[in-house]
Amino acid sequence: MTESKILTREQAVAQADAWRADGQAIVFTNGCFDIVHLGHIDYLEKARNLGQRMILGLNTDASVSRIKGPLRPVVNEYARARLMAALEFVDAVTLFDEPTPLELIEAVRPDILVKGNDYSISTIVGADFVLGNGGRVETVALVPGYSTTSLIARIKESF
């Protein structure tokens, strides 16, 4: 079941088109989601509640390493994709390797683009595209004190 929610970019676009034709609002968000924690779960659940379907753009391992450094990700892309797909409020997961998710956002054409409130609308990649196509860009409150980076730091301190 979870593997069936992991889609190629082409499959994600086709699925988004089908949901859109059925009148469902499509939410898009993206991230690395390395070492899943409460902050991720809360964020994704809040994002999904803004529409009827959610597509999650997941950074590939190579992309995570370019962003976070050579020791990341801790969890490989296949495992991260399966974990994300197992969440009931994630309808589809698709990987992207580009420096930003802009190409994926332009392909999927979401109705609602979501990021955490550590971003402002003006700094969210793809916001101009989504707004220009009549969509919405939203930020959702993050749970304080939860981040993969801080979790890794706490683990290192315990040794």
Per-residue confidence (pLDDT) for residue 156, from 0 to 100: 81
pLDDT category, 123, cuts 50, 70, 90? very high
In whole angstroms, give the CA distance from residue 55 to residue 50: 12
Q: Is the pTM of this model over 0.95?
A: no
d(CA 1, CA 151): 29
Nearest-5° Cα angle at 42, 31 to 62: 15
| Per-residue model confidence as pLDDT tens digits over 103-122 | 999 999 999 999 999 999 99
Domain hosting residue 12, numbered range:
3-157
pLDDT of residue 102: 98
At residue 48, does pLDDT exceed 80?
Answer: yes
Number of H helices, E strands in the chain: 7, 5
pLDDT tens readout for residues 69-106: 998 999 999 999 999 999 999 999 999 999 999 999 99
C-alpha of 28 from chain center: 7
Instruction: Supply the pLDDT for residue 2.
Output: 85
For the chain, the domain total comes to 1
The CATH number of residue 92's host domain is: 3.40.50.620
pLDDT for residue 11 is more than 80: yes
The span from the first CA to the last CA of the chain, in angstroms, equals 38
pLDDT, tens digit, 9 for 90 and up, residues 15-47: 999 999 999 999 999 999 998 999 999 999 999
If phi over 0 gives left and psi between -120 and 50 gives alpha, with beta otherwise, what is residue 51?
beta
pLDDT at 152: 78
